Amino acid sequence: MSTKVVMEALSPTMEEGRLVEWKKQEGDAVAVGDVLAEVETDKAVMELVARAGGTLLKQVVQAGTTVPVSELVAVIGEPGEKVEAPVGRGDGQAAPAKKPAPKAEAAEEPPAPPGGPAAAGNGPPAAAPRPAAAPAASRSAGRVKASPLARRMAAERGIDISAVAGSGPEGRVVARDVEGSRPAVAGAAAAVRAPAVRGPAGQPYQDVPLTQIRKTIARRLAQSIGPIPTFYLTTEVDMERAREAREALLEAGGEKVSLNDIVIKAVAMALRQHPVCNAWWQDDHIRYWNEVHVSMAVAMEEGLITPVIRHTDLKSLREIAAESRDLAGRARERKLAPEEYTGGTFSVSNLGMLDIDEFTAVINPPEAGIVAVGRMAERPVVHEGAVAIRRRMRLTMSCDHRMIDGATGARFLQTLKGMLENPLAMVY
Amino acid sequence: MAIVTYRDALNHALREEMERDPDVFLMGEEVGVYQGAYKVSRGLLEEFGSMRVVDTPITELGFAGVGVGAAMVGLRPVIEFMTWNFALLAIDQLVNSAAKMRYMSGGQVGVPAVFRGPGGSALQLASQHSQAFESYYAHIPGLKVVMPATPADAKGLLKSAIRDDDPVVFIEGEMLYNTRGEVPEGEHVVPLGQADVKRSGGDVTIVCHSKTVSLALKAAEDLAGEGIEAEIVDLRTIRPLDTETVLNSVARTHRCVVAEEGWPFAGIGAQVVDTIQHEVFDELDAPVLRVTGADVPMPYNKHLERAAKVDAGKIVAAVNEVLYRERDE
């Protein structure tokens, strides 16, 4: 009896995954829990583990292939067991995600439980949803599954159907997916993509396929810059005392606290005073958070991710420093669990280390705001009636105007500035 | 309008047509003295006499053949089968004589006969007496197949069937005889070959006929509670099939479920789905799903029987699927 291994939904938003590398080869013995392969999801590289023991009889897909969730990727069974022709979809043994059991025809529908009313129809439908007929024959790499109506609509509207995420069975693009799609999405995706690769001389351009994370970034950022009415507030902060505080902490030893950690802590404490900025846009309502979870943008070799420091306001600088270092490190290795990069209530992004004086950051929806941190630099300023050289840093807050008004955002920023200029205010 | 049972609506149609046309006569088992196994012919023997309301022996092939012969020489027989289960014994007369006479005589001889009786399952009548045979007859070129779902359609379609110059297989719903509904007063004729939209909606089309119409309407009620508006297309005539009404509806809703009481393999729904996928392929947003009786001899056990039959819940489930609606499993 063989067991089919399918692409599992390894993150809450995952619709497909790229099989990066096989960790078990055909013929290898496999125990329950063994890592079969590494899979790149829309956020991280994660492990696909065996749900059944035996021998890896067949790798159905090659490394590098992108596979929709629930699609067959491998078969585990007894050594020497004959593998049936792959049918493209697991039989439900291996996948933990909810998934309809394939059914050939109506005759195999499970009978309704006895005891119900004769005319029935009152209870929930007895029959499980039925996937489309096994598409083994028509399956070919690169083919987009779409309903005929969705194809016609996409053609009429000039939408590239391969750019539309399908919500139907096995990722089928259906009418509602095309309805929610705009030709502009493709343009936005192109704008965010800026491959840092230089092609061979004489070649005018190089086409780089979109990775999972790049697709996600494009979708999320386009979603942000489009419907979110954003405005920006900038202030310059005197960082002398924050720097002194940091140096004093460093002298005391222990976890090394960075300036960014101090900013994160200050943001969290300021949010406590301005809960209106600690909110989520929920389409028909606003969710004001009582807890403060600050997301911090972390650049990865490819893309970015925003791990979350939970209950930021309740943690000491030392704790924040330790946690941010750990999260950033594992983010760069793409080892974060989904719950570690979701659920933030406000974000901080810092490009100061890259010599950026100031910038505007894109809001991480559904959050209400994000603070963009520029570099700390010595600047001539008027201090106590005389020109002096002081360490200064610019903060720019992006605000979702649906939740934060100009003065509201300004007051938050004022509090934040006050805390950084007088770090004792954070513990007051 | 008068509220009339399906049974009486058929009775009225017979009476009116027998009054209108002296060539119309009724023949079958227990149609006269007993006034019909389902009392459809109540009062007709008394009113029209034994020359026009003829009790037969239990010889389905024989009296079906007499009916074909009578029709060939100009009469308009209405042949009652006590149920279509018993008509299997007479199917040779329908398929090889009634259906082919006009063609094989080069158009010289038609067979203006109606073969009628109840079809489908009732309750716990077991495998041999719980069968929906419409696809058997709809398969045959030369036969028309009519299946009314309401009293008004029963009356109007039977009158059209009797007036039609070709053989008509008229399958009534055994469980529908006692159902009541409004029937227009006076002359009420429903043309053959016209489907009827029993309920309008823009989200999904449910194609059905005979007994499944009431199930589809029940399903539509349930779905309306969830904000889904289903359009119910009652085929009324299986052959000739009113493809125009079906296709117009599907072209608007983009999703379709076809329900029928019979077995799935080569059923009526298979023909409907073929037409849809061929004619309006680009309008479809989901595969058309069929809801049918289970592909087994009808169980006698009442729980198994219920499980084997189409019900509103199964139709709702299919609608949810073609709408790609998430449901708890």
Note the pLDDT tens digit of each residue in B253-299. 999 999 999 999 999 999 999 999 999 999 999 999 999 999 999 99
CA-closest candidate to residue B8, choices B49, B40, B55: B40
Q: Inter-chain contact B311–A112, Cβ cutoff 8 Å?
A: yes
**Shortest Cα distance from B326 to chain A (angstroms)?**
9
| pLDDT value of residue B86 | 96
| pLDDT value of residue A334 | 84
B174, B210: one domain: no
Q: Which two tokens stand for residue A400?
A: 């979702």
B48, B77: one domain: yes
User: ∠ at Cα B105 (B101, B108), nearest 5°?
Assistant: 100
Q: How many domains does chain A have?
A: 2
Residues of A with Cβ-Cβ distance to B262 under 8 angstroms? none
> Distance from first CA to last CA of chain A, Å, rounded?
66
Choose one of B160, B183, B206: the last residue of a domain: B183
Q: Are A351 and A263 in contact (CB under 8 A)?
A: no
Q: Are A61 and A88 in contact (CB under 8 A)?
A: no
Tell me the mean pLDDT in the region B182-207: 96
| pLDDT value of residue B197 | 98
B294 in contact with chain A, both atoms CB, cutoff 8 A: yes
Q: Is residue A299 part of a domain?
A: yes
| pLDDT value of residue A166 | 84
Q: Is residue B191 part of a domain?
A: no
Q: Look up B12 and say whether it is catalytic.
A: no
A 163-202 residues inside an 8 A Cβ radius of B: 167-169, 174-176
B94, B228: one domain: no
β-pairing, A66-68 with B180-183? unpaired
A234, A92: one domain: no
The CATH number of the domain where A342 resides is what?
Answer: 3.30.559.10
- List chain A residues with pLDDT less than 50: 86-141, 184-203
Q: Please check the confidence at residue B200 and state whether its pLDDT lies above 80.
A: yes
Choose one of B145, B160, B183: the last residue of a domain: B183
| pLDDT value of residue A222 | 63
Residue of A114, A119, A132 with shortest CB distance to B312: A119
| pLDDT value of residue B21 | 98
DSSP string for residues in A58-70:
EE-S-TT-EEETT
Q: Residue B202 is part of which domain span?
A: 196-322
Cα dihedral A281/A282/A286/A288 (nearest 10): -80
Q: How many domains does chain B have?
A: 2
Q: Is residue A115 part of a domain?
A: no
Q: Which two tokens stand for residue A238?
A: 């005197």
Rounded alpha-carbon distances, angstroms, from residue A400 to A239, A372, A373, A414, B318: 27, 14, 18, 18, 42
Q: Residue A399 is part of which domain span?
A: 230-427
| pLDDT value of residue A221 | 65
- Look at A6 and B55; give whichever has higher pLDDT: B55
B147, B202: one domain: no
Give CA–CA dist A172/A148, Å, rounded.
11
Three-class secondary structure of residue B207 per DSSP: strand
B 302-321 residues inside an 8 A Cβ radius of A: 303-304, 306-308, 311-318, 320-321
Q: Please check the confidence at residue B100 and state whether its pLDDT lies above 70.
A: yes
B176, B206: one domain: no
| pLDDT value of residue A198 | 41
**Nearest C-alpha in A relative to B327:** A129
B240, B126: one domain: no
Cα dihedral A252/A330/A25/A140 (nearest 10): -170
- Pick the catalytic residue: B16, B17, B29, B60? B60
Residue of B306, B316, B322, B323 to mutate, interface with A, max A Cβ within 10 Å: B306
The CATH number of the domain where A59 resides is what?
Answer: 2.40.50.100
Residue of B264, B283, B320 with shortest CB distance to A107: B264
What amino acid is encoded at A337 in this protein? A
The CATH number of the domain where B158 resides is what?
Answer: 3.40.50.970
A 293-352 residues inside an 8 A Cβ radius of B: none
Q: Are B170 and B115 in contact (CB under 8 A)?
A: yes
**Shortest Cα distance from A165 to chain B (angstroms)?**
14
Three-class secondary structure of residue A189 per DSSP: helix
Q: Inter-chain contact B304–A132, Cβ cutoff 8 Å?
A: no
CA-closest candidate to residue B234, choices B186, B173, B187: B173
Residues of B with Cβ-Cβ distance to A115 under 8 angstroms? 303
Choose one of A97, A129, A156: the last residue of a domain: A97
| pLDDT value of residue A210 | 65
Q: Which two tokens stand for residue A369?
A: 């705001």
Give CA–CA dist B120/B173, Å, rounded.
7
B176, B71: one domain: yes
Instruction: State pLDDT tens for residues B102-112.
Output: 999 999 999 99
Residue of A124, A128, A149 with shortest CB distance to B254: A149
B6, B141: one domain: yes
Residues of B with Cβ-Cβ distance to A111 under 8 angstroms? 294, 303-304, 307-308
Q: How confident is the model at residue B28 (pLDDT cuts 50, 70, 90)?
A: very high
Q: Is residue B249 part of a domain?
A: yes
Q: Is residue B213 part of a domain?
A: yes
Choose one of A97, A129, A151: the last residue of a domain: A97
Give CA–CA dist A307/A395, Å, rounded.
20
Q: Inter-chain contact A127–B295, Cβ cutoff 8 Å?
A: no
| pLDDT value of residue A87 | 45
The CATH number of the domain where B225 resides is what?
Answer: 3.40.50.920
Q: What is the ipTM of this complex?
A: 0.76
Tell me the mean pLDDT in the region B57-67: 97
Q: Inter-chain contact A120–B317, Cβ cutoff 8 Å?
A: no
Q: Are A79 and A38 in contact (CB under 8 A)?
A: no
Q: Is residue A311 part of a domain?
A: yes
Instruction: State pLDDT tens for residues B201-253.
Output: 999 999 999 999 999 999 999 999 999 999 999 999 999 999 999 999 999 99
A128 in contact with chain B, both atoms CB, cutoff 8 A: yes
Give CA–CA dist B178/B272, Å, rounded.
29
B44, B90: one domain: yes
Question: Residue B176: CB partners within 8 Å, gap ≥ 6?
Answer: B6, B149, B154, B210, B211
Instruction: State pLDDT tens for residues B155-176.
Output: 999 999 999 999 999 999 999 9
Question: Residue A168: CB partners within 8 Å, gap ≥ 6?
Answer: A145, A147, A174, A177, B286, B324
| pLDDT value of residue A371 | 96
B230, B171: one domain: no
Q: Is residue A151 part of a domain?
A: no
CA-closest candidate to residue A249, choices A323, A348, A320, A350: A320
User: ∠ at Cα A336 (A250, A181), nearest 5°?
Assistant: 125
Choose one of A54, A71, A97: the last residue of a domain: A97
| pLDDT value of residue B92 | 97
B 128-157 residues inside an 8 A Cβ radius of A: none
Give CA–CA dist A121/A67, Å, rounded.
37
Residue of A109, A126, A147 with shortest CB distance to B286: A147
Q: Is residue B328 part of a domain?
A: no
Q: Is residue A142 part of a domain?
A: no
